[in-house]
Chain A
Amino acid sequence: MTTTLSRRPPSGDRLPAGQRPNAALDLLALPGVGRFLRWRHSRLMLQLPLLAVSVVMVAHAFWGPDLAPKNLAALLTWVHFRGLVVLALLCAGNLFCMACPFLLPRELARRLIAPRWEWPRWLRGKWLSLALFVAVLFTYELFDLWSDPWWTGVLIVAYFAAALLVDALFRRASFCKHVCPVGQFNFLGSTLSPLEVAVRDHQVCHTCSTKDCIVGRRAEAPQALDRQRPAGEAQLPIIQRGCELGLFQPRKVGNLDCTFCLDCVYACPHDNVGLLARLPAEELVAAGSRSGLGVVERRADLSAWMIVFTFAALLNAFAMISPVYALEQAIAEWTGLTVEWPILAALFAVTLLIEPALLLAAAAYTTRWLSGTGESLLAIVQRFARSLVPIGFGIWLAHYGFHFFTGLWTVIPVTQHTVWRTTGRELLGAPQWHLGGLPESVVFPLEMGFLGLGLLGSWLVAWGISRQLAAERTLGGWAPWAALHLAIFAAAVWILTQPMDMRGTFLGG
């Protein structure tokens, strides 16, 4: 595909804002990277290496050493993958979904059998993915997945199987849109990304009659074949998919639900979709309906995801320091429990349900009082839930960034060790076990920087939302949420300044 930027109307600067051609930096217009991404098979080229790495990880999980620090499945999943995902979201966009290896088997399966069903209506939305997200976090803590290569391998295989099964049976990107918890995590994180798949010039869309970006393109029917088919049947093979997540480019706002697959880029006959630079987090303030999503602030499932995303960031970080073990031990002694799961379940319930409910209700109540709005508490919570995403993402960044940066080079000796164990020879040299990562003295300021950016982002988003709610009393509407963000920030700083204490044995097993 060649770029046709010259097709933009030259008089765009006279049009009202929102109608003008987007003048932001377009990655697809850049030499090199732009040419590669415009190539139809670029996604496959990104997916294949990740699939190869996944195969190696699965093999190592089941047949490699059962010691997590020497196993590529445990190391790459819990140290490098998580860190790279959040850093890519911060620096570029939803690159993991773009290069997602889980979708390759389903692509293969769809060449053999076409999915027949629509995703069940009662399962649509984000509730299922939210439940799976909490389940994965719970399992991670309960079974100490970080220290168990075998179960990590099972998790990876289960992920491949789930993606294959769902998308082999159900049409479009059902797995990505309704099931995948990693995908939803990435969608929320990508609201903070500096890149967005967006229309270059809305005027071009106004004149478009085919809407290929959403419906895709089918092959031309040979006349003979056309005569054989009943009227109205349009089952010709798709030669280019449109957006399988139901995002219609002209009405798409931001990165939510966008996997960066670039199908819309390839489908658009006017070459009018780009990968454009934008202001991170701005979309969190945007009001109104969005294609494929509706009105975000009225969707309880999305609001719940945003709340859990933020408080789970605190919980996941809290679980790696000493006080959590002291707390669990105290609960065990107080209740007489000798098994961990009920205690962990209670911690999850308090952290992801009770604590957010109390804090958000208090913030919403105070906002209603100070701003004079007549909205219900629930409506105010749903409005301001978006403002939690930046501080939540800041905590995930700080936490996963810590593991990634402090363990950055450990992949080298583990790979060398793997090659030695597999071949019996040191083909990559003797394992350089002295290689670790960046010192904590360097990583700590980075963590604080991520948290600070998150706090600033949350404050700015809350300000924008408060202005929409009560333009005359913006400060009053904003202050309670700013205080909540500050409290979350302070909790995160406290957690990250505690010495790390990774244990799985607090009840002696």
Chain B
Amino acid sequence: MAMSGVSRWLILGCLVLLVACRPATSDVPGAQVDLTWDPAPPAVGQAQLLLRLRDAAGQPLAGGKVRLEGNMNHAGMKPSFGELNEVEPGSYAGTLEFTMGGDWFVLVTATFPDGTSLERKVDVAGVKAR
């Protein structure tokens, strides 16, 4: 059966929507993300953190612009944000505020000079309530 003009436009529209719905990604394949806290485990308040980023071969991912977003694992809480500074190639330090005790997760977003980027979710279980 021949496809009508309207059907063709509908399918094209759906395809455009599908493409538009998918956020653009250019992830670093096999990247390793290692996050350490001070205090460990973190408690409510500001926590110091050190983030080490390595590629699949174990080489440091240097020169990145790294941003953190901390959320509790339940809804209805304002997220915490943090910008990290590179202290040595592939190692980034900074702080993040935990506003409540419980289970958190941190979204690590990094963009690198070559245009690649990285996004990872790191669980931070059992942030201590004061």
> Considering only CB atoms, which chain A residue lies closest to B17 in the complex?
A423
Interchain residue pairs A-B with the least CB separation, the first 3:
A407-B76, A436-B78, A424-B20
In chain A between 23 and 77, which residues have their CB closer than 8 angstroms to a CB of chain B? 67-71, 74-75
Provide the bound-state CA to CA distance between A422 and B23, in Å: 9
> In the complex, given contacts A67-B71, A502-B103, what are 7 additional A-B residue pairs having Cβ atoms less than 8 angstroms apart?
A69-B71, A74-B75, A407-B76, A424-B23, A437-B78, A502-B74, A503-B102
- With contacts defined as CB atoms under 8 Å apart, how many contacts are there between chain A and chain B in the complex? 99
Residues on B with C-beta less than 8 A from A503 are 101-103, 125-126
Provide the bound-state CA to CA distance between A147 and B103, in Å: 10
B100/A502 in contact, CB under 8 A: yes
Residues on B with C-beta less than 8 A from A500 are 100-102, 129
Most buried by A among B44, B71, B75, B77: B75
Residues on A with C-beta less than 8 A from B100 are 499-502
Residues on B with C-beta less than 8 A from A321 are 129
A69/B74 in contact, CB under 8 A: yes
Residues on B with C-beta less than 8 A from A407 are 75-77
Residues on B with C-beta less than 8 A from A504 are 73, 103
Provide the bound-state CA to CA distance between A68 and B125, in Å: 15
B125/A410 in contact, CB under 8 A: no
> Considering only CB atoms, which chain B residue lies closest to A78 in the complex?
B75
Provide the bound-state CA to CA distance between A505 and B126, in Å: 7
- Interface size of B by CB at 8 A reads 27
B23/A421 in contact, CB under 8 A: yes
Question: Is B11 an interface residue when CB atoms closer than 8 A count as contact?
Answer: no
B117 to chain A, nearest CB (A): 17
Q: Give B contacts to A, CB under 8 Å.
A: 17, 20-23, 44, 69, 71-79, 81, 100-103, 105, 121, 125-126, 129-130
Residues on A with C-beta less than 8 A from B103 are 147, 502-505
From B17, B23, B76, A78 is in contact (CB under 8 Å) with B76
A322/B76 in contact, CB under 8 A: no
Question: Is A8 an interface residue when CB atoms closer than 8 A count as contact?
Answer: no
Question: Is A406 an interface residue when CB atoms closer than 8 A count as contact?
Answer: yes
Q: Chain A, 146-167, contact with B by CB distance < 8 Å: what is the 0/1 string?
A: 1100000000000000000000
A69/B75 in contact, CB under 8 A: yes
Provide the bound-state CA to CA distance between A410 and B75, in Å: 8
A502/B78 in contact, CB under 8 A: no
> Considering only CB atoms, which chain A residue lies closest to B44 in the complex?
A499
A322/B74 in contact, CB under 8 A: no
Residues on B with C-beta less than 8 A from A70 are 71
> Considering only CB atoms, which chain A residue lies closest to B99 in the complex?
A436
Q: A500-B129, A502-B102, A503-B126 are in contact. Are A436 and B77 (CB under 8 A)?
A: yes
Residues on A with C-beta less than 8 A from B44 are 499
A322/B75 in contact, CB under 8 A: no
Provide the bound-state CA to CA distance between A499 and B102, in Å: 10
A447 to chain B, nearest CB (A): 15
Q: A433-B81, A500-B101, A502-B100 are in contact. Are A68 and B74 (CB under 8 A)?
A: yes
Residues on A with C-beta less than 8 A from B121 are 67
Q: A322-B101, A421-B21, A421-B23 are in contact. Are A146 and B126 (CB under 8 A)?
A: no
Q: A421-B23, A504-B103 are in contact. Are A499 and B74 (CB under 8 A)?
A: no
In chain A between 192 and 244, which residues have their CB closer than 8 angstroms to a CB of chain B? none
B79/A74 in contact, CB under 8 A: no
> Considering only CB atoms, which chain A residue lies closest to B125 in the complex?
A505
A69/B21 in contact, CB under 8 A: no
Provide the bound-state CA to CA distance between A422 and B22, in Å: 8
A152 to chain B, nearest CB (A): 9
A433 to chain B, nearest CB (A): 5
Residues on B with C-beta less than 8 A from A499 are 44, 100-101, 129-130
B21 to chain A, nearest CB (A): 6
